[in-house]
Structure 1
Amino acid sequence: MSVDGDIEADVVYGYYNDNTLQAGTIRARLVIEDEHATIATVEADLHFDLDDFQQGHGDGVQEQLRELLVDEVFAVDEDGGREMMDRGLLFARLREGLPVFRADSQAEAH
């Protein structure tokens, strides 16, 4: 996908093998490159590039995501038997307009 200009969003999650996202600058709270290369300047609170995300499942990636995201986007991984962020649950909450960030969820509760 090629965007002529910049992208501003809460979450930019690039997923699918052998694809790229090209833009000028991506500004987001969370950017994840999951089997998906990004050709852009990334300005994010939390950014996992392709190597960090794919190789870092056991090296603090899930812990960082757990600090940022609501519990409802985590599920037990069938392969590893541990709780991990589930992109399907994340996408579903985004589609429904529900908060995905802990801070937003806490603010909405008040």
Structure 2
Amino acid sequence: MTARAVHTDGEMSVCGDIEAEVVYGYYNDQTLQTGTIRARLVIEDGHCTIAAVEADTHFDLNDYQQGYGDGVREQPRELLVDEVFSNEEDEEQLDRTLLFARLREGEPVFRANDATAR
């Protein structure tokens, strides 16, 4: 499957591989299963991924939980444009709704000076 971006908040199975700029799995107790994910950014936000992951940046299930690991909270900020962040409870965080709205509109989501730019 080739797409600009993939977002799932339920069970998803792809017979083959996924190639995309962004792959975002959201929601507890759900699974994305495929052969290999090739992407610039992969985020497992409470969502289990059963696949080989070849990504420039990969936040796995253990790193990208509400508490985040050390430094994980700053990494999306360095990688992505300001417009995909919002404040919740006086804390700035990545907003997947804003991220995917920009992707649907064909607007850039990665910073121009991103070292992982392809």
SS in 2 for 1:95: helix
SS in 2 for 1:53: coil
Q: Could you say if the C-alpha distance between residues 28 and 104 of structure 1 is closer, same or farther in structure 2, counting changes exceeding 3 Å?
A: farther
Alpha-carbon distance between aligned partners in 2 of 1:35 and 1:56, rounded to the nearest angstrom? 12
> 1:59 deviation in Å?
2.3
Which blocks of at least 5 consecutive residues in structure 1 are unaligned? 106-110
Alpha-carbon distance between aligned partners in 2 of 1:43 and 1:12, rounded to the nearest angstrom? 11
Tell me the TM-score normalised to structure 2 length. 0.80
Q: Could you say if the C-alpha distance between residues 97 and 30 of structure 1 is closer, same or farther in structure 2, counting changes exceeding 3 Å?
A: same
- Higher helix share goes to which structure? 1
Letter in 1 for 2:97: G
Alpha-carbon distance between aligned partners in 2 of 1:12 and 1:59, rounded to the nearest angstrom? 22
Over aligned residue pairs, what C-alpha RMSD do you find?
1.8
Tell me the TM-score normalised to structure 1 length. 0.86
Structure-2 residue corresponding to 1:29: 40
- The count of aligned residue pairs is 103
User: Identity across aligned pairs (percent)?
Assistant: 77
Which blocks of at least 5 consecutive residues in structure 2 are unaligned? 1-11
Q: Could you say if the C-alpha distance between residues 58 and 25 of structure 1 is closer, same or farther in structure 2, counting changes exceeding 3 Å?
A: closer
